[in-house]
Amino acid sequence: MSAEILEIVSTLPIPEYLSGEVQSKLAYVDEAILQAQVTPGGERIRLSLAAAPDSEQRSRLEDKVQRVVASMVKGAIKLKVQVLEDHLDRPVPYALDPMEALLARKEVNPEAVGIFAVGPLLSRLIQFFEGLFLELADSFDAAPYRFPTLIPARYLERVNYFRAFPHSLSFVTHLRTDLDAIDHFAQHAACDEHGLNEPLTSFAGIETLLSPAVCYHLYFALADQPLPGGQVVATAVGTCFRYEAINLTSLERLWNFTMREVIFVGAKDFVLQSREIARQRMAAVFEKIGLAYRVESANDPFFIGEFRKQAAFQSAFQLKFEIRARLPFKESTLAVGSYNYHQDFFGRQLNITLPDGSPAHTGCVAFGLERMAFAFLAQYGLEPSGWPEFVRQALA
Ligand code: AMP
Ligand code: ZN
């Protein structure tokens, strides 16, 4: 079945610098959208739909698309990209999309959209990168933690997550603790093209979600008390979940992925200095593994209503820098990690206090393990003989 194309003329032209952000938000506009694209020049939006829309559906789609555009474009200013390191021209030997070879070798098994099982090659590579990130954590004497994959809804509520990132949340429920509901499910549950056929009334209300980040769990463990010793450095690895709709493609963008974080809590200077030291230490590590990348200012993918204000705020206060690895096969870059500073946001929201009674500042260094492995393979290929000596020896 070929897709139907619907082109919408944007009431406001979408500037080049916003085109990627607008495009990624269009994924959440309507379930009928299979693909969304801002045309070069930013005058039109091209939607691929499963079927031709009737006039009512068409005007509903147009209205929603224009709302996204208006909310993101009106009053937007081009944020200055600050580049802290640029090693994008580091020579790398490979130029193909590693996904094809990974699929062909059964090195990845796509279980569903955004959900992949990975095999020995990727697992070993991920373990190798994990070792490097753990060395970074050790260099700060970071205390190890293990956090749950689930997170209480009231935790996320307390840090305004629902308002900032509603689109990417993943909810968890279970059958109501009711014999009839459980019996009904046991006897009738089956999957069709829409998923499980069980009525929603069989399920308990949602009190829990799948965790979207690692460091939040630390801040909650420290909440409502003075910060022990006036500063804390911790590290943990965890499975994180962000639903990215039709943006979920290959190993680049997953619903279910793994993050290693090194987390700093304390006075402003301590957090900012630690973030900077971490960046410098990682620069030496990335040189050893031959990664072509650059570190540049960035913003989190806030939902449309919050986007403009929050992104400008992050940019003005230099709160987020991303490690963007080169993907030669598509002449673009992919964030494999980030250096973050949250000011005293979590300290204030969660009442974590410094010895002088003021709210603690927090920051984290976060690495996406699947993306790190994917970007490395995109630059060096699947054959270890083509890898830098340092990586080859470590994996031998
Ligand atoms: P962030 O907290 O958004 O800066 O995320 C930290 C790192 O996690 C990113 O730099 C990515 O490497 C990784 N990451 C974030 N979202 C995804 C995703 N949907 N799929 C795979 N990796 C991700
Ligand atoms: Zn974090």
Q: How far does residue 335's CA lie from ligand 1's centre (Å)?
A: 7
- Whether pLDDT at 1 is above 70: no
Determine the pLDDT at residue 306.
87
Determine the pLDDT at residue 165.
95
Q: Give the model's confidence band at 245: pLDDT under 50 very low, under 70 low, under 90 confident, else very high.
A: confident
Domain ranges of the chain: 4-73, 83-150+212-395, 171-202
Q: What residues form DSSP beta bridges with 115?
A: 112
- Whether pLDDT at 2 is above 80: no
Determine the pLDDT at residue 94.
98
Determine the pLDDT at residue 247.
85
Tell me the percentage of the chain whose pLDDT exceeds 90: 91
- Whether pLDDT at 43 is above 90: yes
Determine the pLDDT at residue 396.
84
Tell me the best of 116, 168, 257, 294 to mutate to test the pocket of ligand 1, counting ligand atoms within 8 Å of each CB and taking the most.
Answer: 257
Residues lining ligand 1, judged by CB closer than 6 Å? Answer: 213, 242, 244, 253-254, 257, 259, 300, 322, 335-338, 366, 368, 370-371
The size of the chain, in residues, is 396
| CATH top class, domain 4-73 | alpha beta
**pLDDT tens, residue by residue, 130-159:** 999 999 999 999 999 999 999 999 999 999
Closest Cα to atom 3, ligand 1: which residue? 300
Q: Give the model's confidence band at 88: pLDDT under 50 very low, under 70 low, under 90 confident, else very high.
A: very high
CATH architecture of the domain formed by 83-150+212-395: 2-Layer Sandwich (3.30)
Determine the pLDDT at residue 308.
86
Average pLDDT along the chain: 95
Closest Cα to atom 1, ligand 1: which residue? 338
Query: Per-residue pLDDT averaged across 49-78, rounded?
Result: 92
Tell me the best of 242, 255, 362 to mutate to test the pocket of ligand 1, counting ligand atoms within 8 Å of each CB and taking the most.
Answer: 242
Query: Per-residue pLDDT averaged across 306-310, rounded?
Result: 88
Q: What residues form DSSP beta bridges with 150?
A: 210
Tell me the best of 210, 262, 303, 338 to mutate to test the pocket of ligand 1, counting ligand atoms within 8 Å of each CB and taking the most.
Answer: 338
**pLDDT tens, residue by residue, 327-384:** 999 999 999 999 999 999 999 999 999 999 999 999 999 999 999 999 999 999 999 9
